[in-house]
Amino acid sequence: MSKSRLQLRKVEFLEDEESNKCLATVLLRLGATDYIGQYEAERTESALRVIALATFEGVNKALLDSINLSLKITLRVAEEMKPAYMTKSLFVVIVDVIAGTFSFKPTGAVVAESHEVYRATAAAALDSLNRLIQHLLRINNFM
């Protein structure tokens, strides 16, 4: 396992009808350390957005802990697409990212079955950032 790449370990998405809230919890691993990202929202919020935002919280926890840096991440798109030419869904996450004085517009995508929506969304969110994360960890001598 590469210690310079965040790995997706687990994704949970819970809805509470009584409080009208939903909660996404994403477990990430960097090296031998686990990081938990969570995001709570109203049940009317898109589950894909909630999961992507929980993933980004976990990313920032890992970066703060390992290299004392966080990213300003603005989620632009988190959606499931069903192209006519594919038998599986395409999960896409597009973000705006600011790291110090640099800004990026990375995109992540994962092909998966529709029933894997939560894990696929978190994986696409992580995919959108992992090349940048690898670079930041490398230049900060984390590896």
Instruction: Give the CATH number, domain containing residue 103.
Output: 3.30.160.270
pLDDT for 79 equals: 96
pLDDT at 39: 98
What domain range is 79 assigned to? 7-139
CA dihedral 93, 94, 100, 103 (to 10 degrees): 160
Let me know if residue 110 belongs to a domain: yes
Asked whether residue 104 is domain-assigned, the answer is yes
How many domains would you assign to the chain?
Answer: 1
Is residue 1 assigned to a domain? Answer: no
Confirm if 71 and 57 have CB atoms less than 8 A apart: no
Q: Is residue 44 part of a domain?
A: yes
Report if residue 25 sits inside a domain.
yes
* Tens-digit pLDDT string for the chain (143 aa): 456 689 999 999 999 999 999 999 999 999 999 999 999 999 999 999 999 999 999 999 999 999 999 999 999 999 999 999 999 999 999 999 998 888 999 999 999 999 999 999 999 999 999 999 988 888 887 65
| Residue 2 covered by a domain | no
On whether the pTM is more than 0.75, the answer is yes
